[in-house]
Amino acid sequence: MALTALTSKWSGSVPAVWAVWDVWDENSPDRIIKPVAGDRVFRWITTVCAAAIPVLMAGLVCVMVFNSHLALKKFGLGFLTSTAWNPITQEYGALSSIFGTGVSTLIAMLIAMPMGLAVALFLVEWAPPKLEAFFGTAIELLAAVPSIIYGMWGLFVFAPFMADHVQPLLGRYLGFLPLFKGPPMGIGMLTTGIILALMILPFISSVSRDVFKMVPSVLKESAYGLGATNWEVTKGVILPYALHGIIGAGFLGLGRALGETMAVTFVIGNSHRLSASLFETGNSIASTLANEFTEASEPLYLHALVALGLVLFLITVTSQIAAQLWLRHIIKKAGGK
């Protein structure tokens, strides 16, 4: 659906119907017809429904702030930099959760971004049309599979696979790096990152595919006509042309990875600690919430968890706003051309 949103936003031309439609504006000096009663009611109802959305958002922010004020007051900004998480001594800090969210998302993006682009390129430029339709549909269906299924698969199938085959190999050849130290347990940061990558891959590749398809074939053909190879056309024509859209696709995947709960909770191991090794267990903001929320009996514990939620909310909203502004920037540019 994001693709339609992305593309529909691009056609920013003002339709002819505008002139007639302007009569909706009751204060418009151009108004020629008095709106009938039915129109007024219709307008009123739809406006109220539309207003429900900002109201919902404002309510969400207020409720979250109100339910985390104990923790915010007690720990202040230190909440963000403390690694303590102890319900018994009532000490709470968000750092290990933020670290886990950041690391798992980073691994996911590092894998999914190049792979998503490669898949999209393969589909648009090299695959025969029938194969493209088949692969395209399969990858988009992958996007519809609920995240808990990835979690199940990750815990029971993929984590043992990592422990038996991938991690010993990495440990043997790259074990001198602090990243790959420790026992191969299967669960942990690396496995989480890979599963997140598989989850966001369909989003990135399907949006990129749409963007690549919008590159005018005249441009590509002229490059081919000059004797460029497939890869040279890709590097010199397609990627620069599609760059803005690709960054949009990246933001989409980023948003998904940051807030993903179930797939992460199953495989990250859920321990409050910072570790340089990707084999070690850890936690993310979402996994901490999923695990501990129903156990929080003390008010301060609960408020600390909601504060953690607020941090995640701010991170995702910031990335969303950046994405929105970015898209708006592209639309303006496209409109200006």
Restricting to residues 224-283, name those near another protein by CB under 8 A. Answer: 229-232, 234, 236, 255, 258-262, 265-266
* DSSP for 80-137, written as a single string: HH---EETTTTEE--HHHHHHHHHHHHHHHHHHHHHHHHHHHIIIIIS-HHHHHHHHH
Cβ 330 to another protein shortest distance, Å: 14
Query: Between 58 and 80, whose beta carbon lies closer to another protein?
Result: 58
CB of 176 to another protein, least distance (A): 27
- Map the footprint of another protein across residues 296-325, applying CB under 8 A: 305-306, 309, 312-313, 316-317, 319-321, 323-324
Interface with another protein, residue 32, by CB under 8 A: no
Among 42, 213, 333, 335, binds another protein (CB under 8 A): 42
From 40-48, 89-97, 215-223, 238-246, give the range in contact with another protein by CB under 8 A: 40-48
In the bound complex, what is the minimum distance in angstroms from residue 244's beta carbon to another protein? 17
* Binding of another protein by 89 (CB under 8 A): no
Q: Which one, 46 or 178, has the nearer CB to another protein? A: 46
Does 334 bind another protein (CB under 8 A)? Our answer is no
Binding mask 161-200 for another protein (x = CB under 8 A): -------------------------------------x--
**Interacting span for another protein (CB under 8 A) from 37-45, 162-170, 185-193, 274-282:** 37-45
Q: Which of residues 196-225 bind another protein (CB under 8 A)?
A: 198, 201-202, 205
- Cα gap 159→2, rounded to integer Å: 31
What is the rounded distance in angstroms from the CA atom of residue 71 to the CA atom of residue 63?
14
What is the distance between the alpha carbons of residues 188 and 16, in angstroms, rounded to a whole number? 57
Residue 141 within binding range of another protein, rule CB under 8 A: yes
The β-bridge relationship of strands 91-92 and 85-86 is antiparallel
Cα–Cα distance, 29 to 256 (Å, whole number): 46
Q: Contact between 28 and another protein (CB under 8 A)?
A: no
Distance CA 197, CA 150 (A): 11
Give the integer Cα–Cα distance in Å for 32 and 34.
7
Q: Tell whether residue 157 is a contact of another protein (CB under 8 A).
A: yes
Nearer to another protein, 176 or 336 (CB): 336
Question: Side-chain half-sphere of 283: how many Cα atoms within 13 Å?
Answer: 20
- Nearest CA-CA partner of 331 in 4, 7, 6, 10: 10
Among the listed ranges 52-60, 78-86, 87-95, 216-224, the one in contact with another protein (CB under 8 A) is 52-60
Q: Following CA atoms 128, 130, 131, 132 in sequence, which dihedral angle do they give, to the nearest 10 degrees?
A: 80
Q: What is the DSSP secondary structure assignment for residue 185, as one 8-state letter?
A: -
**Cα 84–265–275 angle (5° rounding)?**
45
Site size with another protein, rule: CB under 8 A? 99
CA–CA distance, 251 with 257 (Å, rounded to integer): 10
Tell me which residues in 119-138 interact with another protein (CB under 8 A).
119, 121-123, 126-127, 135, 137-138
Smallest gap from residue 278 Cβ to another protein (A): 20
Q: Minimum distance from CB of 7 to another protein (Å)?
A: 9
Contact status, residue 248 vs residue 319, Cβ threshold 8 Å: no
Backbone conformation region of residue 162, classed left if phi is above 0, alpha if psi is from -120 to 50, else beta: alpha
State in angstroms the smallest separation of the CB of 169 from another protein: 17
| 155 contacts another protein (rule: CB under 8 A) | yes
Considering only the stretches 4-12, 167-175, 214-222, 271-279, report the one whose residues sit in contact with another protein under the rule CB under 8 A.
Answer: 4-12
